Amino acid sequence: MTFADIILPHAERRPDAPALSDLAGTVSYGELANRVDDAARRLAALGVEPGDRVMIVGENSIPLAVAILACARAGGVAVLENARRAPMEVDAILEHSRPRRALFVFEQSRDAEEHAARAGAQMVDQPAIGRLAVTGEHPCGSYAASGPDADPELAAFIYTTGTTGAPKGVMLTHDNLGFIAGMMGTLRGVGPTDRIYCVLPISHIMGLASVLLGGLNGGAHIHLRSRFSADACLADVAALGVTALQGATAMFAKLNEAAARAGWRAPHAMRFVAAGGAPIDLTVKARAEAVFGCTLHNGYGLTEAASLCWTRFEDDVSDDSVGRPLPGVELRLESPDGGAVPPGEAGELWARGPNVMRGYFRNPELTARALTPDGWFNTQDLARIDDDGRVYVVGRTKDVIIRSGFKVNPIEVEAALNRHPAIAHSAVVGRPAEGNEDVVAFIERHDRGSEPPGDLGAHLQRWLSPYKHPSKVVVVDALPLAQNGKVLKRLLVDIAKGA
C-alpha cells in the first residue's frame, strides 16, 4: 500500500466531495483519483519504474499534489523540493539524488519555470498535472539496484541541511508518512467536515504528512496556498469557513499582528490551530487563542522523525510543552556520556517508532551515527520529560537556527557569505525574536569597510533560500577568536541580542 491509496475510500464512497482547492479551482475526490491514475500512467510512459527516484519541484497547488500522489501510485520515490529554494540548492539536490526524471510543476510558481530552464527540462503534455517540464532520462544506476536505497517501502526523500552545511537526503517510507496521516484522525479528529488551510509547503515534512496526507486520509477539504500572507490567510479563514490551521510559531506571530491591525477575530470557532517546528512563545500562544477562539496546540518532530509529540485536546496545554509522545513512539533521555538522566533533568532526546526514517541517502556513515541498529534516532535536541510524560524541548546540542519553522545551519550561510569577493570571514548566529529566531551575520571585509557590500542581497539569492538570508548583517574589524582559531560564537550571540 502506498500513501496515494488514502484517497481511494473517499473516491469510492464520496466521489463528489471536494478534496483539494487552490486559487485556480477545486477537484473532488473522484476527480483527484482519476487525475492521479492518469498522471501515474504518464510517468510510467516516461520510463519511471518502481523504485526510481523522481524529483518534483513546485509550490503548493493542486497540480503539485497530483504529481506527488502520482509518483507514489507509479511506485516511484518522490524527491521533493520547494521551488522557492535558491538555484544552487536545487542543483545540489538534483545532482545528489540522481533521479530518473525531474519534474518542474509550473502552476503558481514562476520559480519552478526558472529552475526548469536552468536544468534544460522540456515542456511535456501532461493534462492530469498541468503545465510541466521534465528533464531527460537519467539512469539511476547502482543506487536503485541494491543496498538500503532499494527498499521497496521508500516513498519520499526530503532534503535537510546537515551539520557540515551539505544537504542530507532523508529517506522516508510509506509507513512513516501513513502513520502521521493516521494520527491526524486519531488524535486531531480530522474528518469529512473539516476545511483545512494548507500554506505549509507540501514539499516539506509537516505540510506533506500532517496537513496534506492527514487531511486526505480523513476525507477533509484542503485549501492549498502557495505562499503565506497574514492578511490573505485571515481573509481566507473567514471566507472559506476554515476549521483547522497548522503552521510555525512565527506564522502565528504574524497572524496576531495582522489581526491586531485590522481588529480581526475569527467569525466562527476554529476547531483547532496547531504550531510546530520551533519552541512555542507563550505570548504568541495567548494572542493566537484570543484571535482564533480556540487553543493553540503544540507539537515536536523533525524531518527524520516527523511528529514525535503532540499536545492532546483533553490535556492542560497552558504551558510550552510539546505534549506527550504519539501512540507507538518511544522516547528516552541520555546524558552526554550516554548514561541515564536523573528524573526531572534535561538530556539528549532519542526516539524510536513507526515514523523514524530509514536513513540518509548515499550517506551510510551519517546514518550509522544518527540511528542505532535497533532503531533509536538521536534528535540532537535537549529535553526533559515530566512524570506525566509531557515533553519540554529546552535546547539543542547542534548549532542550528530555527527560523519560521525551518532549519538554518550557520555553516551553510557562512559559506555563501564567504563566496562574496568583498568578504574575508563571516560568522552566523541566531537571535531570539517573538515566536521565532533571526539570522544574524557578522562579517569582516577585505577592505575594512564599515558597511555590508551593496550587492550582498543579490549575491545570496543565488546560493540561499530567502528564509536563510541574514535579517541583520554586522560589519566588524575582526571576529573574536579563541586560541585555537575558532570563532567565539557565544560572544557574538550576546552582541546579536543588542544589534
Q: What domains appear along the chain, each with residue ranges and CATH number?
A: 3-227 (3.40.50.12780), 301-396 (2.30.38.10), 401-498 (3.30.300.30)
What lies within 8 Å, CB to CB, of 236 at 6+ separation is 197, 223, 225, 242
pLDDT for the residue numbered 119 = 95
pLDDT of amino acid 143: 46
Greatest alpha-carbon span in the chain: 70
**More confident: 289 or 144:** 289
With cell 475510500, the residue in question is: 9
- Helices of type H across 22-153: 29-45, 62-73, 87-97, 110-119
Nearest C-alpha neighbor of 344 from the set 405, 316, 378, 386: 386
pLDDT digits (tens, 9 = 90+) for 214-265: 999 999 999 999 999 999 999 999 999 999 999 988 788 889 989 999 999 9
Chain center to CA of 32: 24
* Residue with grid cell 575558532, as numbered in its chain: 486
CA angle 268, 226, 93 (to 5 degrees): 140
pLDDT in tens, 259-288: 999 999 999 879 999 998 767 878 889 999
CB 339 within 8 A of CB 333: no
- Mean per-residue pLDDT over the chain, rounded: 91
CA dist 276 and 287 (Å) reads 17
Burial (CB < 10 A; 0-12, 13-18, 19+), residue 378, is: middle
Instruction: List CB contacts of 144: < 8 A, sequence separation 6 or more.
Output: 51, 52, 53, 150
Q: What are phi and psi of 429, to 5 degrees?
A: -135, 170
Better-scored residue on pLDDT, 184 or 287 = 184
Q: Report whether pLDDT(366) > 80.
A: yes
Report, as an integer, the average pLDDT of 197-203: 96
d(CA 139, CA 480): 49
**Sign of torsion, CA 314 319 324 325?**
positive
Query: Which residue type sits at 425?
Result: H
- pLDDT at position 395 is 73
Tell me the C-alpha distance between 59 and 106, whole Å: 8
pLDDT of residue 482: 61
92-117: pLDDT as tens digits: 999 999 999 999 999 899 999 999 99
- The 10s digit of each residue's pLDDT in 295-354 is 999 999 999 998 999 999 999 899 989 999 999 999 999 987 777 888 888 899 999 999
